[in-house]
């Protein structure tokens, strides 16, 4: 009975190749390269691959050239035991592209999560204030995130402090955030913790409620 061989293929390749604008035929060519490599043949004859794929040699050469130019394939070389230079097909450039794509995806997921948390802050403030925010107020809150670098959870805590003090004002929240920022408390998971931050809020000068409500 003839022995069966298997090709080990990373799932990320199949999941990502269309996003990298690699055609089905180009992907099949790359899979054939993997198959030969895993069988110990790093530089298979084009004619052999052509017979397997039922594709003319010139078409395969064109695909290989295109994959190289687009940064998905390379043909490096090494010295064998006899000192002879041996070329081989390397898919390392493809793996690097897939890794970069994964990093971009992770970055996008982080941005989406952050945007969601920031959106929650806007909603929470409007609910607690009992009214819609003005364009100027929207800009002020956005600046807390973009310019001042405040974590959304920190802004939520500042809102809680304002509500506890019965002061519904972004200016008052800004004073709280500034007070915490001076103590380097810009992240919700800082080691000092919010129990200490809340206690530090007492350092703020007393503010008449009516004065803040009118702002």
The per-residue pLDDT for range 17-30, each reduced to its tens digit, is: 999 999 999 999 99
In whole angstroms, what is the distance from residue 139 CA to residue 128 CA? 18
Q: What is the mean predicted confidence (pLDDT) over 167-179?
A: 93
Q: Do domains 11-90 and 112-213 have the same CATH topology?
A: yes
Helix (H, G, I), strand (E, B) or coil at 38: helix
pLDDT of 202 above 80: no
Cβ of 209: how many Cβ atoms within 10 Å? 14
Q: Which residues contact residue 59 at a Cβ distance below 8 angstroms, ignoring those fewer than 6 apart?
A: 50
Give the least confident one: 64-68, 78-82, 86-90, 109-113.
109-113
What is the topology classification, in CATH, of domain 112-213? Arc Repressor Mutant, subunit A (1.10.10)
pTM for this one? 0.55
In whole angstroms, what is the distance from residue 212 CA to residue 37 CA? 72
Q: What is the mean predicted confidence (pLDDT) over 68-84?
A: 92
Residue 61: pLDDT band with limits 50, 70, 90: very high
> Domain locations in the chain?
11-90, 112-213
So what's the pLDDT on residue 189? 52
pLDDT of 84 above 80: yes
Q: Which residue has the tokens 């793996």?
A: 95
Q: What is the mean predicted confidence (pLDDT) over 190-200?
A: 48
So what's the pLDDT on residue 1? 55
CATH class of the domain comprising 11-90: mainly alpha
């Amino acid at each position: 009975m003839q022995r069966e061989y298997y090709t080990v293929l990373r799932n990320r390749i199949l999941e990502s190749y269309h996003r990298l604008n690699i055609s089905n035929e180009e992907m099949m060519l790359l899979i054939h390269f993997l198959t030969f490599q895993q069988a110990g043949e790093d530089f298979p004859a084009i004619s052999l691959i052509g017979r397997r794929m039922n594709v003319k040699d010139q078409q395969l050469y064109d695909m290989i050239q295109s994959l190289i130019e687009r940064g998905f394939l390379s043909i490096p070389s090494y010295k064998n035991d006899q000192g002879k230079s041996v070329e081989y097909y390397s898919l390392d450039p493809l793996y690097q592209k897939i890794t970069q794509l994964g990093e971009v995806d992770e970055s996008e997921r982080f941005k989406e999560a952050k945007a969601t948390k920031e959106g929650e802050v806007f909603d929470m403030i409007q609910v607690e204030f009992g009214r819609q925010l003005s364009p100027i107020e929207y800009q002020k809150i956005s600046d807390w995130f973009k310019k001042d670098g405040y974590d959304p959870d920190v802004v939520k805590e500042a809102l809680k402090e304002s509500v506890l003090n019965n002061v519904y004002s972004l200016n008052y929240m800004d004073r709280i955030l500034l007070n915490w920022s001076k103590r380097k408390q810009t992240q919700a998971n800082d080691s000092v913790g919010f129990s200490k931050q809340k206690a530090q809020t007492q350092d703020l000068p007393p503010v008449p409620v009516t004065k803040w409500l009118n702002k």
